[in-house]
Amino acid sequence: MPVRNLKEATVAIRGGRTFDSHASSILFPLYQTGNFVHDAVGVDKGFSYSRVSNPTVDALEKAIAALEGTPSAICFRTGMAAITTLLLSVLKCDDHAILSDVVYGGTLRLFREVLDHLGVTGSFVDTSDAANVEAAVTPATRIILIESPGNPTLKLTDIAAVAKIAKRHSILLAVDNTFLTPVLQRPFELDADISILSTTKYIDGHNATIGGSIATQDTKLDERVRLIRKTLGTIQSPFEAWLTLQGMKTLPARLRFHCEGALRVAQWLEAHPAVKYVLYPGLDSFPQKELAERQQRGAGGLVTFELKGGAEAARLTLNHLQLCSRAESLGGLETLVTHPSTTTHADLDPELRQTLGITDGLIRVSVGLEDPEDLIADFDQAIDASRWSADKECHRPIVREGRLVHDQEQKEDHLSVVVEKR
Ligand SMILES: Cc1ncc(COP(=O)(O)O)c(C=O)c1O
């Protein structure tokens, strides 16, 4: 049945799936091999060497293409490998790119540490106002790369508005859609040329792999990116591709629960007296709620907030979490909580961080699929415990075997007070 007639949940499980003609296994086999035998000189079965292509990677590419609604997709060893390969495919010395100022830190570093040295320049602008994009266009601009929602402030960019500017100037528009995936945001329906995914996040969804993908309707660009991938050696490995193929089947189902849980956590945080503000596109208070509703099919699984106590309150709250994990990634089943200013965005100049709204007190939560009530209880006790810790100047957290422990007597006293209060 053609993919266009299938509903999203079906596409994620069945779309573009390659069947195993050898043994009819329900799961496509893992071709964990570096090379393939030629039947005769110049005669092969479509595969020769796994740096160029591999049947399991090919199966993942077809499945992602079905989800994206593109003729094909190209898979990479990491999300950064996808972005690097794309940019090296379309940019040469003296070319210019426009990027969102809240773009992923690795993309920013790619410009500073690699592309700048090759004579390629990048302008990082606030793409939430399309006029800034128009103003940054030069005769040398070849690509606009936006991230919406941006990380970690979840600032949105109007993709269709930027696409109009890109078309008018014959510039490619790439959207890093990692945070929403094609299930919650459809870049091609908004006139983008390229969709980028770090499959590491929601596509795999199980914190099991690292990977990336590029999809485009432009077959010439697809060919060019494949050539550069072969040259750089940035193709996905068969095993990671196989795991990702299994993980992505539940993507639409998972995202429904991620969105539901994130809204519950965001609403609870917003009502908490210790919380200064919450950024979540599903909240009425979100500054770009109208754009989120127009452009997205859901608000996503990420919630960002700041505590009134600032940096110290954020540090103590993070350290007191017992269920949620302190970790940098996002999009998996486990709830991960990040302190952007000391982790994902630590490389940025502190002044630039302030300008971008990435304050030292900011906390980003990737809401997983645990019961939201349990997550809320964890944030509740962590915020309470952090306030208690802050009150007791003399109390210093102790790290033992990589875990934070406290003076047991003091902590038990405190926790009994917290429990009584509830
Ligand atoms: C929006 C976004 N794009 C790209 C990347 C890079 O992906 P990877 O870590 O798979 O290389 C990340 C990683 O966090 C990301 O958040």
Find the catalytic residue in 31, 104, 202, 280. Answer: 104
One domain for residues 210 and 272: no
Residue 396, SS3 per DSSP: coil
pLDDT, tens digit only, all 422 positions of the chain: 666 689 999 999 999 998 888 999 999 999 999 999 999 999 999 999 999 999 999 999 999 999 999 999 999 999 999 999 999 999 999 999 999 998 898 999 999 999 999 999 999 999 999 999 999 999 999 999 999 999 999 999 999 999 999 999 999 999 999 999 999 999 999 999 999 999 999 999 999 999 999 999 999 999 999 999 999 999 999 999 999 999 999 999 999 999 999 999 999 999 999 999 999 999 999 999 999 999 999 999 999 999 999 999 999 999 999 999 999 999 999 999 999 999 888 888 899 899 999 999 999 999 999 999 999 999 999 999 998 776 664 444 555 565 555 544 444 444 433 333 33
One domain for residues 351 and 232: no
Residue 149, domain extent: 3-250
One domain for residues 218 and 281: no
Q: Which two tokens stand for residue 166?
A: 């890109």
* 8-state DSSP, 146: E
Ligand 1 within 6 A of CB of 80: yes
One domain for residues 303 and 370: yes
One domain for residues 237 and 256: no
Atom 7 (ligand 1) nearest CA: 79
The Cα-based distances of 51 to 200, 226, 233, 243 in angstroms read: 20, 11, 6, 18
CATH number at residue 220: 3.40.640.10
Q: Report how far ligand 1's centroid is from the alpha carbon of 184 (Å).
A: 17
One domain for residues 225 and 255: no
Distance between CA atoms of residues 176 and 162, nearest Å:
14
Contacts 24+ apart (CB under 8 A), 165-172: 165/130, 165/133, 165/134, 165/137, 166/193, 167/191, 169/137, 169/141, 171/98, 171/137, 171/141, 171/142, 171/143, 171/144, 172/90, 172/142, 172/143, 172/144, 172/221
167-206 residue pLDDT tens: 999 999 999 999 999 999 999 999 999 999 999 999 999 9
One domain for residues 142 and 197: yes
One domain for residues 18 and 156: yes
Find the catalytic residue in 58, 95, 158, 176. Answer: 176
Amino acid 209 reads T
Residue 149 CB partners (closer than 8 Å, separation 6+) = 155, 156, 179, 180, 281, 300, 302
Q: Are 148 and 163 in contact (CB under 8 A)?
A: no
CATH number at residue 289: 3.90.1150.10
One domain for residues 257 and 339: yes
Query: What pTM was computed for the model?
Result: 0.92
Ligand 1 within 6 A of CB of 212: yes
Q: Are 138 and 163 in contact (CB under 8 A)?
A: no
Find the catalytic residue in 201, 226, 229, 387. Answer: 201
- Known catalytic residue at 51: yes
Distance of CA 280 to the CA centre of its chain: 15
The Cα-based distances of 384 to 315, 346, 361, 413 in angstroms read: 13, 27, 16, 13
Helix/strand/coil (H/E/C) assignment for every residue in 353-374: HHHCCCCCCEEEEECCCCCHHH
One domain for residues 207 and 345: no
Atom 2 (ligand 1) nearest CA: 104
Helix/strand/coil (H/E/C) assignment for every residue in 279-290: ECCCCCCCCCHH
Which residue's structure tokens are 């999300």? 79
- Known catalytic residue at 176: yes
- Domain boundary pick from 250, 279, 309: 250
- The total number of structural domains in the chain stands at 2
One domain for residues 281 and 378: yes
One domain for residues 369 and 293: yes
- Domain boundary pick from 250, 279, 308: 250
Which residue's structure tokens are 């190209």? 74
- Known catalytic residue at 31: no
Ligand 1 within 6 A of CB of 79: yes
- Domain boundary pick from 225, 250, 275: 250
User: Which class for 413: exposed (0-12), middle (13-18), buried (19 or more C-beta within 10 A)?
Assistant: exposed
Residue 56, SS3 per DSSP: helix
Atom 15 (ligand 1) nearest CA: 104
Atom 10 (ligand 1) nearest CA: 79
Q: Report how far ligand 1's centroid is from the alpha carbon of 211 (Å).
A: 9
Q: Are 301 and 365 in contact (CB under 8 A)?
A: no
Q: How many CB atoms lie within 10 A of CB 149?
A: 27
Count the alpha carbons within 13 Å of 12 in the hemisphere toward its beta carbon: 20
Distance between CA atoms of residues 395 and 398, nearest Å:
9
* 8-state DSSP, 43: B
Ligand 1 within 6 A of CB of 234: no
